[in-house]
Chain A
Amino acid sequence: MEMKDKTKKTPVRKSQEKKSDKYYYASQWQLMGRKFRKHKLAMISAFVLMIFYLIAILGNFIAPQGTEQYDGKYVNCAPTPVHLFHEGKFVGPFVYGLKMERDPVTYMAHFAEDTEKICRLRFFTEGDEGGEYKWFGLIPSNIHLFKAEDGKVFLFGTDNMGRDLFSRVVLGAQISLFIPVAGMLMTLVLGLAIGSLAGYFGGWVDTVIQRIIEVVRSFPQVPLWMALSAAIPKTMKPAQVFMLMTVILSLVSWPGLARVVRSKFISVKKEDFIMAARISGAPADKLITRHMIPSFLSYIIVDMTMAIPGLIIGETTLSFLGLGLRSPATSWGVLLQETNKLETIMFYNWKLIPMIFVFLSVLAFNFMGDGLRDAADPYK
């Protein structure tokens, strides 16, 4: 039985050997990439996140309205569906015109489709007045992805000031998706620097840093975020608030990372290759940045990816409470402020749409972190 199997498997084995040869030649990062690609959920998440970030970067172009624009005529308008067929005939993408109606009993105003009027969607056209923006803050332009010809298209409806929710979700992504990443990078720098100081030098430096870490960690995260962001002056420009929020988020979250880095340092200090580098005369800074940090960098990256969801939730929560960015600047948390009133959810439930994006991005980061964690140890 066994003999048979062996003879049968010989050709397969050869190709396997070639494969495994490749396996042994591959660098650590290549192996990680290969392992990550096997994790389907993580790959899908990475793809979703890539699209989200792309939309955020191209936000001003994709969003039909700018942050300052509003239309007092269309307040609390429900999402306008995009149609392709009018009375059975193909017209191409279009929306119907809008007419205001009142509920005969409650007299509440709402908008209904006016099926007489067809407003075709035009793509890559000049936007409305006030929709001007600058590509990457440099090249002025007013070209938007789409616009309804003498009509209004509100993909996600409008808010209580007649602002297009779709535009605000897209523009809000610029804040809600980039503050966490900026905060994470800052945490990374702080955590690596402080953690490596403590781990490398030990002694009293370590003791002092340990005490500081303990103090910062004693503060409950959310209330500390709240207290710090409440101190941001209300008159500040959105860009400055963005910077401060980043600093605040990272100020609260670096100790966790610093602790991990410290313990990694202590364990890696005793490794032979560090001893070899030291004997060869590598100075401390080179020893840290060239040999020690790269040896556990992959774990740190995983840790940081897993930390991003917390930062997204943090930013959203703070903005939701009115302690972060304020209108007309927009982030997903700012958009959700309106949902705090019950009547909003009851009558205008499309205002919960930003929630879906918070949810999806948090979930995607979680799954991606999971995939990265599996990939970080490619020899397993």
Chain B
Amino acid sequence: MVKFIVRKLLIMALTVFLISLAVFFIITLPPGDFLTNYIGRLLAAGEQVNPAEIEALRAAYALDQPFFVQFWRWFSNIILRGDFGYSFSLSMPVTSVIKAYIVPTMALSIVTMLFTYLVSIPVGIYSAVHQYSFGDYAFTTICFLGQAVPNFLMAILLMFLAFKLTGDTMLGLFSPKFQNAPWSWERVLDLLKHCIIPVLVIGLNNTCGLIRTMRSQMLDELNKNYVMTGRAKGMKARAIRYKYCVRAAVNPIASSIGWSLVSIFTGTTITAIVLNLPSMGTVMYNALINQDMFLAGSWLFLMAIATVIGTFISDVLLAWLDPRARKEYLKG
């Protein structure tokens, strides 16, 4: 197992390096370097540009050097000093931008994930046990529809519904009244109320997918011979179902936790933009629109790293939960 983990970690390190190369390439894609754009914007705003300052910036980011030197400067800064560069549109270091937004983003993701699992596993089990019943068909239809509506449309629709029903659009994470208020019981309630739409929107796609997987896994298990044996020996159907079938069926779902977290984490991007949530998605979008490439690139980099870590966690979990998978991994 240790050998397996170490090998995975080594591959991960290589992947991270290649990812950073790709990210840096994307950062430099827009025509003209970002400094020229920055100067242009300063001049357009009627501000003075200090040539010495510009020269210092140019040297600091090695802009007159070839691509790989620039890349190395950027990459080593991140790895050695945790410095992601400077956000020119927000006029602050990227690191502090990330610090300010990472907590709401993570909180939203984790709440969504809890919702996803709490809904999809019971519904999946129900659908499998009552296959072809009215409930099963209803959930299947909802799942198909849920996967056909793009996230942002769902957000708009729910926002509209919320306004029709309650007179409040539920934009942002807090009502204006509680925006800067100190933490109190009401503020927490307000926050939870504002979480409903984002959680529904972000979670829906994933939940639908997981329900389908859980259903088919459970159906597979229910048709296996050990169920028959158990029944023949006089076990109650219910006991077999929950003690054996569910445990076996839940394995692939549980091991996909790493991927799920990542897909939710990134799924927040679009939804956050539409619903105006203080998450990294909104920040990245604004950064892209303003061609503030260091900020956008850093976020892309972080998300890719999160995916790599998520995949790693999933692999290890699967190997830990499922002896068959473990054997296969150790062989290959």
- List residues of chain A with CB under 8 Å of any chain B CB: 211-212, 214-224, 226-228, 230-231, 233, 309, 313, 316-317, 320-323, 336, 339-340, 342, 345-346, 352, 355, 358-359, 362-363, 366
Contact = CB atoms under 8 A, between A and B. Distances in A.
Contacts of B262: 220
Nearest to A360: B148
B22 A219 contact: yes
Given A220-B304, A342-B163, A342-B169, A230 B30 contact: yes
A317 B149 contact: no
Contacts of B307: 217-220
A316 B148 CA distance: 13
A358 B144 contact: no
A342 B159 contact: yes
A359 B154 CA distance: 11
A212 B15 CA distance: 8
Nearest to A231: B29
Given A226-B285, A228-B29, A363-B148, A336 B153 contact: yes
A34 to B, nearest CB: 25
Contact of A220 (B15, B22, B30, B266): B266
B169 A366 contact: no
Interface string B294-309: 0011011001100110
Given A220-B266, A227-B300, A355-B153, A321 B273 contact: yes
Nearest to B21: A215
Given A224-B300, A323-B288, A358-B153, A218 B19 contact: yes
Interface string B169-187: 1000000000000000000
Nearest to A228: B26
Given A223-B266, A226-B288, A233 B31 contact: yes
Nearest to B30: A231
Interface string B2-18: 00000000010011001
Nearest to A316: B150
B144 A219 contact: no
A222 B270 contact: yes
A287 B329 CA distance: 31
Given A342-B159, A359-B148, A218 B274 contact: no
Given A211-B18, A231-B29, A226 B304 contact: no
Nearest to B145: A363
B148 A223 contact: no
Contact of A227 (B18, B288, B311): B288
Contacts of B29: 228, 231
18 contacts: A214-B15, A217-B307, A218-B15, A218-B307, A220-B303, A222-B269, A222-B270, A226-B284, A226-B288, A228-B29, A309-B148, A317-B270, A321-B285, A345-B156, A345-B160, A352-B156, A358-B153, A366-B148
B170 to A, nearest CB: 11
Nearest to B160: A345
B156 to A, nearest CB: 6
Contacts of A223: 266, 269, 284, 299-300, 303
A321 B263 CA distance: 19
A219 B153 contact: no
A309 B289 CA distance: 26
A232 B139 CA distance: 41
Q: Which 5 A-B pairs have the closest CB atoms?
A: A220-B266, A231-B29, A230-B288, A313-B150, A362-B148
Contacts of B270: 222, 317, 321
Contacts of B285: 226, 321
B19 A219 contact: yes
A317 B150 contact: yes
B152 A320 contact: yes
Contact of B304 (A211, A219, A359): A219
A218 B304 contact: yes
A42 B206 CA distance: 24
B303 A346 contact: no
Contacts of A355: 153
A359 B149 contact: yes
B162 to A, nearest CB: 10
A342 B164 CA distance: 11
Given A219-B304, A223-B266, A366-B144, A211 B14 contact: yes
Nearest to B18: A215
Nearest to A365: B148
A217 B314 CA distance: 15
Interface in B20-43: 22, 26, 29-31
Contacts of B284: 223, 226
A219 B300 contact: yes
Nearest to B205: A313
Contacts of A233: 30-31
Given A223-B300, A227-B26, 5 more contacts: A215-B19, A220-B307, A230-B288, A363-B148, A366-B144
Contacts of A226: 269, 284-285, 288
Contacts of B267: 222
Contacts of B304: 218-220
B147 interface: yes
A340 B150 contact: no
Contacts of A228: 26, 29
B70 interface: no
